[in-house]
Amino acid sequence: MTQAEPQVVDFPLRRPGAPFPPPGYAGYRGRQGLVLSRLPNGDRVWLVTRHEDVRAVLTDPRISSNPEHPGFPNVGESLGVPKQDQIPGWFVGLDSPEHDRFRKALIPEFTVRRVRAMRPAIERTVDERLDAMLAAGDSADLVADFALPVPSLVISALLGVPPADRDFFESRTRTLVAIRASTDQQRDAAAKDLLRYISRLVAIKQKWPADDLVSRLLAAGTIAPHELSGVLMLLLIAGHETTANNIALGVVTLLENPEWIGDDRAVEETLRFHSVADLVSLRVAVEDVEISGQLVRAGEGIVPLVAAANHDDNSFECPHMFDPSRSARHHVAFGYGVHQCLGQNLVRVEMEIAYRKLFERIPTLALAVPAEGLSFKHDGVVHGLHALPVRW
C-alpha cells in the first residue's frame, strides 16, 4: 500500500442549516480511504463518512470510546462546549467489558415492552405542554415551549423525580443545553445543581425504595450508589437535547412535507434525515487498525460521522429526499455496536406521540418566520435549532 501524504481538511464543517448535512460530506465519501482533518484546536482526526465504514468502526474492538486515551477527539471543546467531566458511571465513555456491567443493568428499563407501558404517561406530558401553549396565545417558540420540556419531563418521570421537582429539573437541563443563552459558568453551575440533586435522589431512594428505576437499580446492586449518579446524569444528558432537537427539526420537515403528517413512519425517517448526533460517537484507535484501506495508528482519533453515513447513496436511495416510505431502519442515527443508543425505543415512542398530538391538536400550525430565517445550532455538538417560532 502506498500512502501519499493525505490532504488535510478543516473540521467541523459549518452546517448550512437545511438541508443538513454539510454538502462537503458527499465529497468526503467519494474519496478513497478516510479523510484526515484538523480540528480548531489543531488536533488531527480521521473522518469516517461511508455507511459501511461507520458500522465497521463502531464494532471494532481495537477502537475505543474512552476519552482518557491520548488522541481521543476533542470535538466538543473545539466548539466551545466544556468537556464533560469523567464522572463514575459515565459508561458511554467506557469499553467492554467495564461498559457492559452498566448497560446490562439498564436494559431491562428500556425494553420495547417497558417503553410501551410508559405511553400513557408520555401522552399526558405532551398534552399538558400543548395545553399550556394553547392557553398562552396563538404563537410559541416550539423549541423552548415544547421540544425541550417534553424529553426533560419524560426523563425526570423515568428517573423517579417527584412531580414537584420537575420544573427545577427542567430549568437546569435547559441552561445546560443553551449554547447561546448561557455562559460556561451558568452551565457549570447548572450541572453541579443537577448532580447534587441526583445524588440526593439516590440517597432518598436508598432509604425509601419505591417502584422506580433508581430503586430497582439499587436493589439489583450491580451499580454502586456513587456510580449511579453518573449513570443518571448520562441518561439525562444523552436523552434531552438529542430528542428535543430531533422533534423540532422534524416539525420543520413535516411542515415542508405535509403529506407525511399523521404517518408514523416519519419518525424513523426524521432520525435518519437529520442525524442530530453527527458528532456524538467519537473514538480513538488503541491498536493499529486498517479501515477502508487506510492505516490508522494506535492513538489516532476517529470521528465516525453518522449524518454522512445516513446520507450515503450506496445505502440509501436518494438520501437527500425525505421519504418515510423507504426502509430506513439500518440508519446509524443511534450509533451502532455495543453503545447503540439505549434510549432509542423511548425516543421512537416520544417522537411519535409528540408529532401526532401536536398536529392533531394544532392542525393550523405554521412557521411564524420564513424557513430561511431559522437559526441553526452550527456551534453545537448536537445539531438543532436555537428557536422555532410557530403560530396557529
Q: Rule CB under 8 A: which residues touch another protein?
A: 58-59, 100, 103-104, 107-114, 329-330, 334-338, 340-342, 344-345
State which of residues 65, 173, 175, 229 lies at the interface with ligand HEM (CB under 6 A).
65
**Considering beta carbons, is residue 130 or 302 the nearer one to ligand HEM?**
302
Closest CA relative to residue 154, chosen from 175, 133, 125: 125
Among the listed residues 89, 92, 304, the one whose alpha carbon sits nearest the alpha carbon of residue 214: 89
Of 131, 126, 179, nearest to 153 by C-alpha is 126
Of 307-336, binders to ligand HEM (CB under 6 A) are 333-335
Q: Residue 345's binding partner, choosing from another protein, ligand HEM, none, with beta-carbon cut-off 5 to 8 A by kind? A: another protein
What strands, in cross-sheet order, belong to the sheet with 139-141?
139-141, 389-391, 366-367
Instruction: Give the nearer residue to ligand HEM in terms of CB position, either 294 or 310.
Output: 310
C-alpha distance from residue 65 to each of 27, 150, 268, 270, 285 (Å): 27, 29, 26, 26, 9
Q: How far is the CB of 132 from ligand HEM (least distance, A)?
A: 22
Q: How far is CA 382 from CA 81, 158, 312, in A?
A: 11, 23, 20
Query: How far is 347 from 244, CA to CA, in rounded Å?
Result: 10
Q: Which of 17, 90, 15, 77 is nearest to 41 (CA)?
A: 77
* Least distance from ligand HEM to the Cβ atom of residue 234, Å: 5
329 touches, from ligand HEM, another protein, none (C-beta below 5 to 8 Å by class) = another protein
Residue nearer to another protein on the CB measure, 230 or 335:
335
The answer to whether 282 and 28 are in contact (CB under 8 A) is no
Distance CA 390, CA 365 (A): 7
Give the nearer residue to ligand HEM in terms of CB position, either 10 or 52.
Answer: 52
Residue of 76, 82, 75 lying closest to 43 (CA atoms):
75
Shortest separation between residue 58's beta carbon and ligand HEM, angstroms: 6
Q: Parallel, antiparallel, or unpaired: how do β-strands 8-10 and 35-38 relate?
A: parallel
Nearer to ligand HEM, 31 or 99 (CB): 99
Look at residue 67 and give the partner it binds from ligand HEM, another protein, none, a contact being a CB closer than 5 to 8 Å depending on partner kind. Answer: none
Asked whether position 339 contacts ligand HEM by CB under 6 A, the answer is yes
Contact assessment for residue 245 and residue 382, using Cβ atoms and an 8 Å cutoff: yes
Residues in region 115-144 near ligand HEM by CB under 6 A? none
Q: CB 4 → ligand HEM: shortest distance, Å?
A: 31
Number of residues that bind ligand HEM (CB under 6 A): 25
Q: In the bound complex, what is the minimum distance in angstroms from residue 275's beta carbon to another protein? A: 16
**Binding residues for ligand HEM, per CB under 6 A?**
65, 91-92, 103, 155, 234-235, 238-239, 242-243, 246, 276-277, 280-281, 333-335, 339, 341-343, 346-347
